[in-house]
Amino acid sequence: MAKVSISPNRTTDKTIRTIDRKRERERKKMFHRAKEHDQEFSVLLIQRLVDQGIIETDNVGVLQVDIAAQLGKLPYMEDFDLQMKVAPLRTLVQDPNIVSLYFTQYLIEDLVNHPAIQDIFGDDLDVYRAVDSIFRVLRQE
């Protein structure tokens, strides 16, 4: 009987591809869940950021509309654009939630210049923790 030769490189490549496919499916599911519940998540996120003193604003409604619009765009974003957006924060935490990373960077980079926001307080990790406390449920479903 012939002995089956298993190449360690082939096995490793197969495992890596399997993990990548699993992460991609998880990411797509998270993006679609976020889009389906965009209004709820936007209300919860802005409320959490204001309650924890991360943002100071005079118009919560406008920010909720902007967050809901960003949640609606997530499933349609190009992978390159998404990766460029989260690149500065990729090493912030171990095993990060991609939606939380994206919105942390969105707050720090884009919303800081929004006319309804007076200021954003805290460091990147504080903002990420507040954002992730809302979007953590996307991974659990």
**Contacts for 118 with CB less than 8 Å, ≥ 6 apart:** 56, 57, 58
**pLDDT for residue 5:** 54
Going from the first residue of the chain to its last (141 residues), give the mean pLDDT of each consecutive group of 10, the final group possibly shorter: 58 84 88 92 94 91 92 90 89 88 92 88 91 88 55
Distance CA 63, CA 120 (A): 13
**pLDDT for residue 3:** 53
Number of other CB atoms surrounding residue 119 within 10 Å = 9
Distance CA 136, CA 114 (A): 25
**pLDDT for residue 104:** 93
Residue 12: both structure tokens together? 């490793």
**pLDDT for residue 95:** 84
**pLDDT for residue 66:** 93
Helices (H), the chain: 8-36, 38-51, 60-73, 79-86, 98-105, 124-135, 137-140
**pLDDT for residue 132:** 93
DSSP 8-state symbol, 16: H
